[in-house]
Homo-oligomer: A and B are copies of this chain.
Amino acid sequence: MPNLLLKDLPRYECLLEAAKEFPDLEPSACETFLHLLRGGDESVRVMESNLARHNITQGRFSVLMILLNRCRSNSGTLGPAELADAAGVSRATMTGLIDTLERDGLVTRAPDTVDRRMMLVRLTDKGRALLEEILPEHFKRMSWLMSPLSEFERQTLVQLLNKLHQQASKFPAESPSAAAV
């Protein structure tokens, strides 16, 4: 799901110019933000073009990967609510994702006999086989994408992104302008 992507980011001088009109615009913050968006988006596109060859999308892929990981530790089943939480989407979205995955035979959905509100989603053999077919190229592309960065640069990038993650997680879910404080 590539997001909207500005092809040419504004040059720094333009940001400086715009800052005269909008005193709240901090050019270096804006520049960093736009680069981050573009970087994330382009990376997703590179990976998605691989997934698309197997008729699968980023969203479906994430669900399959979560199930695969949980297989190792737990019983191999998860409820839609847990999946939604792990994947960072709404429960309604997860219902739709599971619908298409089930339709294509990649997961199964069965009612939980203990808690009768719950459904148990499980990766099928077909789903696992699909992942094993996709993953080698998937990981190759990751390596290719990151190949211009040295190990040190990768660590640096992760640290910087972690700082942003820390900050974003502080964001008050509701209060709108309180963020500016």
Specify the main secondary structure of chain A where it touches its partner: helix
Tell me whether A26 and B157 are in contact (CB under 8 A): no
Tell me whether B151 and A28 are in contact (CB under 8 A): yes
- Number of copies of this kind of chain in the complex: 2
Query: Which of B2, B25, B164 touches A148 (beta carbons < 8 Å)?
Result: B164
A88–B34 alpha-carbon span in the complex (Å): 14
A156–B49 alpha-carbon span in the complex (Å): 29
Residues of B contacting A50 in the complex (Cβ-Cβ under 8 angstroms): 176
Tell me how far the C-beta of A117 lies from the nearest C-beta in chain B, rounded to whole angstroms: 22
Tell me how far the C-beta of A44 lies from the nearest C-beta in chain B, rounded to whole angstroms: 7
Tell me how far the C-beta of A93 lies from the nearest C-beta in chain B, rounded to whole angstroms: 8
Q: Is A114 an interface residue (CB 8 A)?
A: no
A25–B157 alpha-carbon span in the complex (Å): 19
Query: Which of B5, B26, B88 touches A139 (beta carbons < 8 Å)?
Result: B26
Q: Is A116 an interface residue (CB 8 A)?
A: no
Tell me whether B139 and A163 are in contact (CB under 8 A): no
Tell me whether A35 and B157 are in contact (CB under 8 A): yes
A163–B46 alpha-carbon span in the complex (Å): 15
Tell me whether A45 and B168 are in contact (CB under 8 A): yes
